[in-house]
Amino acid sequence: MVITDFLERNARLYGAETALVEINPSDERDQAVTWRDFSLIESANPGTPYRREMSWRDFDRRSNRIANLLLSRGLERGTKVGILLMNCLEWLPVYFGILKAGCVAVPLNFRYSSEEIRYCLDLADVEVLIFGPEFTCRMDPIVDQLPGVRTLFFIGKGRPSYAEDFCRLMGFCSSNPPPVILEEEEYAAIYFSSGTTGFPKAILHNHRALVASCQSEQKHHSQTRSDVFLCIPPLYHTGAKMHWFGSLISGSKAVLLRGVKPEWILRAVTEEKCTIVWLLVPWAQDLLDAIESGRIDLNHYYLDQWRLMHIGAQPVPPSLIHRWMKIFPRHQYDTNYGLSESLGPGCVHLGVENLDKVGAIGKPGYRWQARVVDENGQDVVPGQVGELIVQGPGVMLCYYKNPEATAETIRDGWLFTGDMARQDPEGFLYLVDRKKDVIISGGENLYPVQIEDFLRRSDKIKDVAVIGLPDKRLGEIAAAIIELKEGVHCTEAEIDAFCKELPRYKRPRKIIFAPVPRNPTGKIEKPVLRQRYCGGLLVEAQTTN
């Protein structure tokens, strides 16, 4: 079985039912309508979101048209086709059309700069790129620097002269299935690492891994056809797409929300009757802050059908989940851990039945194994910190064109995650920190996540990141970059007093009040912070005792 089989089955069995809905609260009508005969549903009430929807039958037919367009241009099996689009109704049909043509889908991060786009297109050997109007200004400077890209397709209005009108051309193509028979072991997609150590690495997966991800997601969260999944994170990332795979395998509706404001999230849940919502830590924090401050009144929304909130992509503060359960005591909750190298979430997950273990990332997921090992790859004793390694059906084939990095990351079939973890006597895994983020101060190992979790207990702190800074005497010291809640005043002395509960060696030696940058998948951008604060800007920070 290959991943496109699920789409064709849904079109056959549930053809007229809704597969996807796009809600654009910013009401950008000029960019929203790009394809013919999409079902268009607009509310007459001023200020309501702009909404588009698509049935399973139309989803499949449009994917077929895209595949046939690509094949008409002479694309062969294994040709790499890039996707540079914001979340929209077109995104998933484009992805599946690429796969149906026997090509390899290469989603790109919508935050990439021009240089990063050029780098990734070259690294992945992309020959065709499909992009939207939000990226024209980033494509303009590099369009003559892409020798490997032979075709540029454009979706939207304001098409640049160097790109072809994708939607018009697709309209001339057949909606019948393309004459391509796919195999499980064929290459399916290249995703890019987060690039936390420099430029991203290209991660290659096959169809078998995509199918395994579908099965894991449905096994973990029990999606049925009556569920409605609210998808907010970017689809270029494995996390969002692989959680949506639960909707694909169950034939249920999913809603793509183009915005993260708390009001928009709750309104989408209410109007679309969403039952499952996957959030990132910053969005959950914003939503709780808005409710607790009284800015949002839950009585204005209908949320009784919302059964599951799950969260992942970065360490989840236990204090956040305890706050959540006070407000939403009837919700099931799950934490999901995964990497792009393990095809998104699911290689480790908490499980909705283990609410008493909040703080853990959980146990190995469906058909996965996990271990915690020392520097020599030997298992450590329970409770001891080591590197988390995983093995299962979603492990990447390789880092594309990077055999050295592949050999370093995959050893004897085990994926070395670079995350430090410990395991309790019951087998639950607790994420301690990224291996590269561990701070060695005066010979002691400091794990920033532990310090961050402690600081988030303060009712004045909205977000926090702890990084290591060079120190002549101790080697490194811990610095806390603290983002306060809106309208809150706090001093360094207050933070210092709050940290008295911590062992002295774990207390931050520097306090910096500043925004905490996070990437589109919610991860703290610690390389950005190190670059920012390891230089002259540190003179602005005060040293605490």
pLDDT at residue 443 in the model: 61
Question: In the chain, count of helices (H) and strands (E)?
Answer: 16, 29
pLDDT at residue 29 in the model: 44
Here the tokens at position 199 are 């430029």
Q: Which amino acid is at 334?
A: D
Question: In this structure, are residues 50 and 24 in contact, taking their beta carbons and an 8 Å threshold?
Answer: yes
Q: Which amino acid is at 323?
A: R
| DSSP 8-state class, residue 201 | P
pLDDT at residue 148 in the model: 95
Question: In this structure, are residues 276 and 308 in contact, taking their beta carbons and an 8 Å threshold?
Answer: yes
pLDDT at residue 47 in the model: 41
Residue with tokens 């995964």: 338
State the Rg of the chain over Cα: 23
CB atoms inside a 10 Å sphere around CB 168: 10
From the list 156, 188, 150, 153, the residue with the least C-alpha distance to 173 is 153
Q: At what angle do helices 3-14 and 238-250 cross, to 10 degrees?
A: 40
Q: At what angle do helices 91-100 and 56-72 cross, to 10 degrees?
A: 50
Q: Which residues of the chain have pLDDT under 50?
A: 28-48, 196-197, 536-545
Q: For the segment 159-206, what is each residue's pLDDT rounded down to a tens digit? A: 999 999 999 999 999 999 999 999 999 999 999 986 544 578 999 999
Q: For the segment 236-260, what is each residue's pLDDT rounded down to a tens digit? A: 988 888 899 999 999 999 999 998 8
Rounded to 5 degrees, φ, ψ at 9 are: -65, -45
Residue with tokens 């895994």: 429
Contacts of residue 68, defined as CB under 8 A and 6 or more positions apart, other chains included, come to 101, 173, 174, 176, 178
C-alpha distances in angstroms, 290 versus 294, 485, 522? 6, 11, 19
Question: In this structure, are residues 23 and 256 in contact, taking their beta carbons and an 8 Å threshold?
Answer: yes
The domains located in the chain, with CATH, are 3-229 (3.40.50.12780), 438-543 (3.30.300.30)
